[in-house]
Amino acid sequence: MHIFGTSSLLALSLAAACAGGAQAQAVPDKTKAAAESAASQVARKAPVLRGLLFVTQERAEVSSPTATAAAARALCRPSADAVPAVTMSTQSAGEVQALRAQLVQVATTEAAAARVKSAVSTELLPTDLLRARVTDFIGRPVDATLTQGVVTEVVKLINEQGRYLADVFFPEQVTSDGILVVVVRPALLGNVTAVGQKYHDANDFTCRVRLQAGQPVDLKVIADDLAQLNSQSSWHYTAVPEFKPGAAAGTTDLVLNTADDKPVRYFVGADNGGTRVTGQGRYHAGVNVGNFLGKFDHEFDYTLTTAGDYSAFHNHSLAYQIPLENRQRLTARLDLSKSDVLLEQGAFRANGDNQIASLEWLVPQLTVPGWLDWGKNMASETSFGAEYKRIGNALAFNQEQVSNVAPKVLQGYAAWRGAWQDSMGASQVYTRLTLSPGGVVDRNDDRTFDAARTNASSSYWRLNGNYNRSFALPGDWSIGATLNGQLARKPLISSERMTLSGMGGVRGYYNDTLTADAGITGSLELQSPRQSFTLGNQTAFWYALAFLDAGRSWNATREYNVDLNKTGSQFNLVSHGVGFRVETSKHSFLRFDIARRHFGMDNDRKWLWNGSLQVAF
């Protein structure tokens, strides 16, 4: 009897893959007839089942992959990233014989559960669960119904574990003592191929599967590999793979079904996320280049952002992302901006440039709190970075502060991001701790920072956090909840303060209405069902929403806020409104919100709108 188990595990998300389920599928095999014949012979000689012994088969002539498959896998797998080999047998051949002898001795004296023994690794076949499944067969007549029932229950158990593929069968055997041996043979990896891609080499995908040829087909490892592969780039996507019988007996080939795009994307866009001094309109143009310099998943991005008047504000943003071994990533960023505007009806001139450079090292899955139930279904990443900033103009940070100094910031940070799903919806969390020692380079001292903002210090810390939660409702409606916050103890200069108002915070206020040393904003959105449609050669969807936003700020010193017409260290914002979203499969989008604030800005219109548009091609 021979059953080949398959799994739908890889159709699930990375979080669900760790817990997923599977289905068993019978595959005709030449050994089936022989196995059934053997079972029939056993039934005639041992009419009553007295014991079951489960063993694994790891014979070299059966389990070795073809030379071609082994050579292909050896060429592309970095040793630092390979998965250690797993041994599925817990006993030597002599120890297996001893187990069988023990079964013969207890076949008539011990309880039925004690007459089920296993020499198979518990990773593949947990012994306690195995006994619970097959103990009821002890004492029954040995016939084709019994042997098929044992095989079916074992296959179900393996698939419920959602980890490995395996063949389960009764080998040809002669017994007169009622003890039957069941072989559990894990499927071993043969060839790995990729199909469907147009702009990438197949090895770029197959080499991201960490399993070596000849290792057990570990569904969890494969699911994790594909989730990482899909998350690292928007240029390609590998869907649910296929498993096929391999060329060598006992092996299984893995086929990666892949779709990809030409790794160059141009885009233009506009929004009203600017300031009133430089002009609220912001206009964008840029390019994303994948496989930069011919390197797989190396990505280069460039964006030009300007106000309606180029001299009033413009920013050049560059980023280069490099994948490292062990799925780590290194990202370098550079932002160069310049502003030149008149303030207070020409009484002051704000003219300066900002330079911001950063380097970030990202380590996925560094910390997964497995002692928490939700930690088992969590995908996470930890990052460490360093930033250099030269702040010559505060207008880029939604402030009108005028200063004759250009402080320099040199700081480091550690951040953690996690995402998980549960029965009620999905969650994402991000937290970052930033530390600035001060006094590292020139103009990175308390005197310069105090000149930029009274009582500001070059040595400080700040803690930022973000939490997003979605709740599924009947009829495909949903609720989205968002919290953003910043905590700091000292007065901060413009580049380190939190913006609480505008399209990224409390809507219904201008982007430059409120910034603060510390604060929190929250948003609740009732979202309609997603409606899909075709837009040219793209798949798109849209949905409508209604929202309620609120925010509260805290400052280390008292300030006067013009829009709120209030002096103090704490300010509140509240608004509500409606909006809609349109997004396409090719990274184009349209977003529009209109909000009514509850107080403040009494001399301005009560309703304000925020919108952004991007067209990618």
Does the pLDDT of residue 73 top 80, yes or no?
A: no
pLDDT over 70 percentage in the chain: 82
Residue 130: CB atoms within 10 Å: 23
Give the residue carrying structure tokens 């430059």: 512
Closest-CA residue to 223 (of 397, 461, 8, 489): 8
| Beta bridge partner(s), residue 89 | 120
Which pair of tokens denotes residue 1? 């009897």
Higher pLDDT, 145 or 365: 145
* CB-neighbour burial class of residue 60 (10 A; exposed 0-12, middle 13-18, buried 19+): exposed
Q: Ramachandran region of residue 601, left (φ > 0), alpha (ψ -120 to 50) or beta?
A: left
Higher pLDDT, 461 or 224: 461
CA dihedral 40, 126, 227, 207 (to 10 degrees): -70
For the chain, how far is it from start to end, CA to CA, in angstroms? Answer: 55
User: Would you state the pLDDT for residue 531?
Assistant: 96
User: Would you state the pLDDT for residue 83?
Assistant: 57
d(CA 55, CA 99): 10
Domain boundaries, the chain: 3-62+84-186, 189-259, 497-617
d(CA 69, CA 577): 59
What does the pLDDT look like over 535-573, one tens digit per residue? 888 899 999 999 999 999 999 999 999 999 999 999 999
The pLDDT confidence band at residue 431, using thresholds 50, 70 and 90, is: very high
Going across the sheet that includes 179-186, the strands are 23-25, 3-6, 166-169, 179-186, 51-56, 116-118
Average pLDDT in the chain: 84
d(CA 79, CA 297): 20
User: Would you state the pLDDT for residue 521?
Assistant: 98
Q: Which of 200-214, 348-362, 581-595 has the highest mean pLDDT?
A: 581-595
Does the pLDDT of residue 2 top 70, yes or no?
A: no
Alpha-carbon distances of 169 from 91, 92, 215, 411, 515, rounded to whole Å = 19, 20, 20, 62, 69
Does the pLDDT of residue 488 top 50, yes or no?
A: yes
Identify whether the C-beta of residue 365 lies closer than 8 Å to the C-beta of residue 326: no
Does the pLDDT of residue 578 top 90, yes or no?
A: yes
Which pair of tokens denotes residue 369? 């709190």
Helix (H) or strand (E) holding 349: strand 348-364
User: Would you state the pLDDT for residue 346?
Assistant: 66
Does the pLDDT of residue 585 top 80, yes or no?
A: yes
Q: Which residues fall within 8 angstroms of residue 287, CB to CB, at 6 or more apart?
A: 264, 265, 266, 267, 301, 302
What does the pLDDT look like over 3-50, one tens digit per residue? 333 333 222 222 233 333 333 333 334 444 554 555 455 445 547 888
* 189-259: CATH, from 3.40.800.10, 3.40.50.620, 3.10.20.310, 3.30.450.40: 3.10.20.310
Higher pLDDT, 471 or 345: 471
Closest-CA residue to 229 (of 209, 213, 243, 215): 209
The pLDDT confidence band at residue 334, using thresholds 50, 70 and 90, is: very high
Higher pLDDT, 135 or 12: 135
Higher pLDDT, 454 or 397: 454
pLDDT, mean of residues 310-319: 96
Q: Which amino acid is at 566?
A: K
Higher pLDDT, 370 or 615: 615
Alpha-carbon distances of 80 from 28, 210, 295, 326, rounded to whole Å = 39, 10, 20, 7
Q: Which residues fall within 8 angstroms of residue 94, CB to CB, at 6 or more apart?
A: none
Query: Which of 190-194, 369-373, 437-441 shows the lowest mean pLDDT across its residues?
Result: 369-373
User: Would you state the pLDDT for residue 86?
Assistant: 60
User: Would you state the pLDDT for residue 318?
Assistant: 98
Alpha-carbon distances of 351 from 89, 305, 310, 406, 563, rounded to whole Å = 73, 17, 13, 11, 24
Sign of CA dihedral 148, 153, 154, 156: positive
Give the residue carrying structure tokens 């913006």: 499
Query: Which of 66-70, 240-244, 253-257, 291-295 shows the lowest mean pLDDT across its residues?
Result: 66-70
Helix (H) or strand (E) holding 224: helix 219-231
Which pair of tokens denotes residue 414? 């550690």
The pLDDT confidence band at residue 67, using thresholds 50, 70 and 90, is: low
pLDDT, mean of residues 364-387: 69
What does the pLDDT look like over 156-208, one tens digit per residue? 999 898 888 888 999 888 777 888 999 998 889 999 999 999 999 888 898 88
Q: Which residues fall within 8 angstroms of residue 571, CB to CB, at 6 or more apart?
A: 514, 516, 552, 553, 561, 564
Q: Ramachandran region of residue 438, left (φ > 0), alpha (ψ -120 to 50) or beta?
A: left
Q: Which residues fall within 8 angstroms of residue 369, CB to CB, at 6 or more apart?
A: 375, 378
User: Would you state the pLDDT for residue 109?
Assistant: 72
Closest-CA residue to 395 (of 256, 512, 283, 254): 512
User: Would you state the pLDDT for residue 66?
Assistant: 56
Give the residue carrying structure tokens 């890889």: 10
